[in-house]
Structures are given as structure tokens and as C-alpha cells.
């Protein structure tokens, strides 16, 4: 049996990389992606491939560019013959009051965190319809369900992607294609880890206190989610067991949105 193929956007780091590993461990061939094209990007693909004994390619595509988003899907389909699972994960953040929010940052966040998923989904659906099965998994956020001050673009994009998730799910519901979102709370990625020393300094607190009282203030468990836990949720949503789960979101947020 030929292996199924997964494309994960923004996957040379953090949650995307964790999801790529989880899908590869579950037997998928995987296309990983970012906007860079370094030797380390291709080495990462080789590393995942060797670890899990599947085929992994690195495809450069800038998710702020609609044409490149669509080209990513076509290249993956050309290489592997199908696109069975699409994980829309690429994302960036910027924090500022709305009346001071730089327009170019707003545009970049909407483009990378929301519009890219429109383009990749539009490009992937014909391939999924042809094979009669598909899974689209959008990495949203607790900020798709709740707001925080100073994150206007991020919160807007993440609320938007939940709308896109529901709409796509309804459009392809009878084609054995599902579309769902995962809403992580704080996940301990290198990006988040790097913020801890600054927060310790700014609040004059030790690591445990700053993590518990500042960063995980809203996360009821007072623990970070892990990239492995998000990856496992991706693999579950991609599985046959999740065939009747569509147009919804799964929170992996340590109880943040229960309050």
C-alpha cells in the first residue's frame, strides 16, 4: 500500500515540527515547509525521514504569498502523488495597542496566520476530492476563542481561521474530507522558551514563579502543553477514528477556555 502524504506549513520549528514528527511516526510521508531554504532545512527533512523510515521533503514557500502557498501543495502532490492531510500551522505574532499597531505587521499576521490557509486549502481540495478522502487541520489557538489585549491581528486571524474551518467542513462534508482546528493554549516551543528569561527580568521573579503566575496565568493546569501533545491531536484528527469529527475545534489549553 502506498503511504499517505501530509503537508505541514511552517514546520522547521515548534508545533509544526512536532506535528511533522508525529505524522511521520504514524507512517505518513511528510512535506515540511518554511520560507527559508538553508542546508539545515533539508537536513531536518532527512533527519525526520531516517528516524521514522518514511519519505520527507523540505519545500520552501513563503506563506505570506498566495502563489507560493498554492505551489507548495502542487509540489508536494507532484512528489508524493497525493495530499491526504494538510496541517495549516505557519504563524507569527506581534503585540501592540491597536491604535499603534503597525499596518505591515497587521497585514503579515493576517496573510500568514489566516489567508495562507485559504490558499493551501483551495489548492489541496481538488487532490483530496480525487482520492476520495482528506483531512485539513488548522492550528488555531485559545486566541481563536478568547481575546487578550494588544494582540488584535493575532486574535482576529485566529478567530477567522475557526470561521474558515467551519465553512470548509460544510462545503466538503459529503466528500469524506474533514476540516477541524486545534486550539492550543501556551505550548512550550523554542519561541516561548526564549521569552522566559526576559519575563523573569521584567517581573523580577524566578523561572517557576514567572511561568506559573505570568505566562500560565490563564492556563488552569499551570502547565504548558507540549508539541508532542499537539502532534498526537493532529494524528488523531487525521485518523479514521475522527471521520465524524468535522467543523469543530479541540482545545489543548490546560483549561484556559473553560473559565
- For binding to ligand NAD (CB under 6 A), which residues are involved? 10-16, 33-35, 62-64, 89-92, 112-113, 139, 141, 184, 186-187, 189-192
Q: In angstroms, rounded to a whole number, what is the distance separating the alpha carbons of residues 41 and 12?
A: 7
Query: What is the smallest separation between the CB atom of 201 and ligand NAD, expressed in angstroms?
Result: 20
Our CB check for ligand NAD shows the closer of 131 and 156 to be 156
Query: What is the smallest separation between the CB atom of 63 and ligand NAD, expressed in angstroms?
Result: 3
Contact 74, 31 (CB under 8 A): no
The set of cell numbers assigned to 111 is: 496573510
User: How many Cβ atoms sit within 10 Å of the Cβ of residue 112?
Assistant: 22
Our CB check for ligand NAD shows the closer of 35 and 236 to be 35
Q: In angstroms, rounded to a whole number, what is the distance separating the alpha carbons of residues 199 and 40?
A: 30
Our CB check for ligand NAD shows the closer of 115 and 189 to be 189
Residue 186 a catalytic site member: no
Contact 136, 124 (CB under 8 A): yes
Alpha helices in 81-178 (DSSP H): 103-110, 116-131, 152-171
Catalytic residues: 154
Amino acid at each position: 500500500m502506498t503511504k499517505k502524504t501530509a503537508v505541514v506549513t511552517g514546520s522547521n520549528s515548534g508545533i509544526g515540527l512536532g506535528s511533522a514528527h508525529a505524522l511521520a511516526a504514524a507512517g505518513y510521508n511528510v512535506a515540511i515547509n518554511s520560507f527559508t531554504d538553508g542546508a539545515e532545512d533539508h537536513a531536518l527533512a532527512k533527519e525526520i525521514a531516517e528516524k521514522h523510515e518514511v519519505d520527507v521533503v523540505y519545500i520552501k514557500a513563503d506563506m505570506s504569498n498566495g502563489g507560493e502557498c498554492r505551489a507548495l501543495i502542487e509540489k508536494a502532490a507532484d512528489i508524493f502523488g497525493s495530499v491526504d492531510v494538510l496541517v495549516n500551522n505557519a504563524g507569527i505574532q506581534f503585540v501592540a495597542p491597536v491604535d499603534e499597531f503597525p499596518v505591515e505587521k497587521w497585514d503579515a499576521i493576517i496573510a500568514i496566520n489566516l489567508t495562507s490557509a485559504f490558499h493551501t486549502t483551495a489548492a489541496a481540495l481538488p487532490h483530496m476530492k480525487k482520492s476520495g478522502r482528506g483531512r485539513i487541520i488548522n492550528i488555531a489557538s485559545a486566541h481563536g476563542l478568547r481575546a487578550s489585549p494588544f494582540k488584535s491581528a493575532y486574535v482576529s486571524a485566529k478567530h477567522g481561521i475557526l470561521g474558515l474551518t467551519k465553512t470548509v467542513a460544510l462545503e466538503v462534508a459529503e466528500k469524506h474530507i474533514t476540516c477541524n482546528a486545534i486550539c492550543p493554549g501556551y505550548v512550550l516551543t523554542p519561541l516561548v522558551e526564549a521569552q522566559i528569561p526576559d519575563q523573569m527580568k521584567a517581573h523580577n521573579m524566578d523561572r517557576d514563579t514567572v511561568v506559573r503566575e505570568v505566562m500560565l496565568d490563564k492556563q488552569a493546569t499551570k502547565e504548558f502543553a507540549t508539541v508532542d501533545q499537539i502532534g498526537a491531536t493532529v494524528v488523531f484528527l487525521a485518523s479514521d477514528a475522527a471521520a465524524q469529527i468535522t467543523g469543530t475545534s479541540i482545545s489543548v489549553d490546560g483549561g484556559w477556555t473553560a473559565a
